[in-house]
């Protein structure tokens, strides 16, 4: 028998059917879900420690190793977005007082710097204006000056549209006894990336970009050098939830009987498994080609509209997220709103240091098609005709 009267009635909004608009997501992520991945999300749940679930987890690990191009046994999924994978890397590798060198050429470098500072690391930012990238010489100067245990670089900086070259950086870091940590959240699956061959020690990515899976899961892999640094810590990681030793056991990375750590998002992992399967069926090189060709077509259509690409050097343009300089006299918010309201297409403005400077158009996974390029450029052309233009 209830001992008190209810003070809060059932919310009226929850007594109505759920209504979701039909929308083409051409921002920097998340991306639209293909039918096969949506179907996976409708399957019945099983226990997170059932043998059938362990089989799915093992298949997911193999898929991640394929996309990362790594043979690292310590490869697993993090329950959380790409931010969570970044935090997992830093929480496990860095200890208070460690020197941490951070490439800050967009919002993800800013976030890495923030997390490192919260952990008590000695953070040394290498700051660039939006659109900038790092050369081997610049990084070597930072390594020699600060003697870090860890360098952070963003492979695909989705806030600025920059693709950071990675060849040579792993070898350079290792000469200075430094580990290389790379963010590939938006780049994975859409442009060449070779974890082992490029000497990357820690690589992470997310589910909701090129993989076209629901947001909320991310994945990470550690080299033997990174594992040695983590497993020889003097202090425990301050996060139990993100403790890699526990997660490695739960994901079957240590050849020991699996122990419960946390309740994994079973349904999301079904979807992630299918998204990895789709890329495996297509083939990585074919996926890279698809994104490269779609981006080139988009760049030509944008320039035909008289728009300026924000990243000047074609070799440094991120194929999955194209940044366009906000045209003079326009408010970027008017353009984004017009395209959404009149065409049901979502593009985004800038983020972090690129706010107010750019429009961001994403071609991610199944959305990277010429048809979608035609749709979004038609919408952009209409927006430029109808949105109010301020007098300069």
Q: Which region, left, alpha or beta, applies to residue 329 given φ > 0 means left and ψ of -120 to 50 means alpha?
A: left
In angstroms, the CA 289 to CA 90 distance is 33
Q: Which region, left, alpha or beta, applies to residue 185 given φ > 0 means left and ψ of -120 to 50 means alpha?
A: alpha
Per-chain mean pLDDT for the chain = 96
- Whether 305 contacts 379, CB under 8 Å: no
Average pLDDT of the segment spanning 156-160 = 96
Annotated binding site for substrate: 360
Q: How far is CA 197 from CA 77, 167, 171, 193, 201, in A?
A: 22, 9, 10, 9, 11
Contacts made by residues 368-372, CB under 8 angstroms, sequence distance 24+: 368/190, 368/290, 368/291, 368/294, 368/295, 368/320, 369/294, 370/294, 370/297, 372/24, 372/26, 372/294
- Whether 367 contacts 24, CB under 8 Å: yes
DSSP string computed for 147-189: --SEEEEESEETTTTEE---TTHHHHHHHTT-EEEEE-TTTTT
Per-residue pLDDT tens over the stretch 353-383: 999 999 999 999 999 999 999 999 999 999 9
Q: Is the pLDDT of residue 1 over 80?
A: no
Per-residue pLDDT tens over the stretch 274-332: 999 999 999 999 999 999 999 999 999 999 999 999 999 999 999 999 999 999 999 99
pLDDT of residue 392: 57
256: how many CB neighbours lie within 10 A of its CB? 9
Closest CA to 173 of 182, 160, 185, 164: 182
Average pLDDT of the segment spanning 218-233 = 97
Number of residues that make up the chain: 392
Q: Is the pLDDT of residue 388 over 80?
A: yes
Could you tell me the pLDDT band of residue 389, with boundaries at 50, 70 and 90?
A: confident
In angstroms, the CA 346 to CA 362 distance is 9
Determine which helix (DSSP H) or strand (DSSP E) holds 344, and give its type and residue range: none
Give the strands of the sheet with 321-325, arranged side by side.
321-325, 358-362, 348-349
- Whether 253 contacts 238, CB under 8 Å: no
In angstroms, the CA 376 to CA 88 distance is 36
Q: Which residues pair with 360 in a beta bridge?
A: 323, 348
In angstroms, the CA 266 to CA 44 distance is 9
Average pLDDT of the segment spanning 320-349 = 97
pLDDT of residue 113: 97
* HSE-up of residue 107 (Cα within 13 Å, Cβ side): 13
Determine which helix (DSSP H) or strand (DSSP E) holds 326, and give its type and residue range: none
Annotated binding site: 360
Domains and CATH numbers, the chain: 24-31+283-386 (3.90.1150.10), 35-280 (3.40.640.10)
pLDDT of residue 318: 98
Provide the whole-model pTM: 0.95
């Amino acid at each position: 028998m209830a001992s008190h009267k209810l003070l809060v009635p059932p919310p009226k909004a929850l007594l109505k059917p759920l209504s979701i608009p039909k929308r083409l997501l051409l921002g920097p992520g998340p991306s639209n879900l293909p039918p096969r991945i949506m179907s996976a999300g409708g399957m019945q749940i099983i226990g997170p420690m059932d043998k059938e679930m362990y089989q799915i987890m093992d298949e997911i690990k193999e898929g991640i190793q394929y996309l990362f191009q790594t043979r690292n046994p310590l490869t697993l999924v993090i329950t959380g977005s790409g931010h969570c994978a970044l935090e997992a890397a830093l929480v496990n590798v860095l200890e208070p007082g460690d020197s941490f060198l951070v490439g800050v050429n967009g919002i993800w470098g800013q976030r890495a710097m923030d997390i490192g500072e919260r952990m008590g690391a000695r953070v040394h930012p290498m700051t660039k204006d939006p659109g900038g990238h790092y050369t081997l010489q610049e990084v070597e100067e930072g390594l020699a000056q600060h003697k870090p245990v860890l360098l952070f670089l963003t492979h695909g900086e989705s806030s600025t549209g920059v693709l950071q070259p990675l060849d040579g950086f792993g070898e350079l870091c290792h000469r200075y006894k430094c580990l290389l940590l790379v963010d590939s959240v938006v780049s994975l699956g859409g442009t060449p990336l070779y974890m082992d061959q490029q000497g990357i020690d820690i690589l992470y990515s997310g589910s909701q970009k090129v993989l076209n899976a629901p947001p909320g899961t991310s994945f990470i892999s550690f080299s033997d050098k990174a594992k040695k640094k983590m497993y020889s810590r003097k202090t425990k990681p301050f996060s139990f939830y993100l403790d890699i030793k526990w997660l490695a056991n739960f994901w079957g990375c240590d050849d020991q009987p699996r122990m419960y750590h946390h309740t994994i998002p079973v349904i999301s992992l079904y979807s992630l498994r299918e998204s990895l399967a789709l890329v495996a069926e297509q083939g990585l090189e074919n996926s890279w080609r698809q994104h490269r060709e779609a981006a080139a077509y988009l760049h030509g259509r944008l320039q035909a509209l008289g728009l300026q690409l924000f990243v000047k050097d074609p070799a440094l343009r991120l194929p999955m997220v194209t940044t366009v300089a906000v045209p003079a006299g326009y408010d970027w918010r008017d353009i984004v709103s017009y395209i959404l309201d009149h065409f049901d297409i979502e593009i985004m403005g800038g983020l972090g240091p690129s706010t107010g400077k750019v429009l961001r158009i994403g071609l991610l996974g199944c959305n990277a098609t010429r048809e979608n390029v035609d749709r979004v450029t038609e919408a952009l052309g209409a927006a430029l005709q109808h949105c109010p233009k301020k007098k300069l």
